[in-house]
Structure formats: structure tokens, C-alpha cells
Amino acid sequence: MMGLFFSARQVKNFEDAKACDLEMFSAYYKGMLENGIYLAPSQFEAFFLSSAHTKEDIDATIKAAEAVFSGLGD
């Protein structure tokens, strides 16, 4: 289980989380979806990895994330 926040600061509590860049999260979410990876649509929801995910699933997710992250600054 993990979470993802876009911030220049470490997120330590709910107040920090609320101050994160929601537009950047939205762009990441949309980019991942366009690459075939469905994530929870809110930065306040957790990501889950389970034994049902194959190595190929994980590799595809990493590849998609690399592509999306590389385009976020554009």
C-alpha cells in the first residue's frame, strides 16, 4: 500500500497532504490512464499491490509512470 503526493516538502500529516499540487496529481492520473494504468482518482486514496499483480503488470506500471513523469514538466 502506498500513496503519491506532489509537493516540494515531505508530507507528514493531513494538512501537508491538502497543500500538495492537485493539478499535478490530476495530470499524472490522466497520463497513467492514457497508458492503460487505472489508479484511484484522488491523491487521498492509497495504491495497492497484491499477489494478483504479475511481474509484467508491475513492469508495465513502471514503464507508464516513467513516461508520464517525463512529460509532466512540459
Q: Name beta bridge partners: 47.
A: 2
Is 42 among the domain residues?
A: no
**pLDDT above 70 for 12:** yes
Is the Cβ–Cβ distance between 59 and 41 less than 8 Å? no
The domain tally of the chain equals 1
pTM of the model: 0.85
Domain of 23, in residue numbers: 16-37+51-71
- Residue reference for cell 516540494: 8
pLDDT single digits (tens) 15-41 = 999 999 999 999 999 999 999 999 989
Is 27 among the domain residues?
A: yes
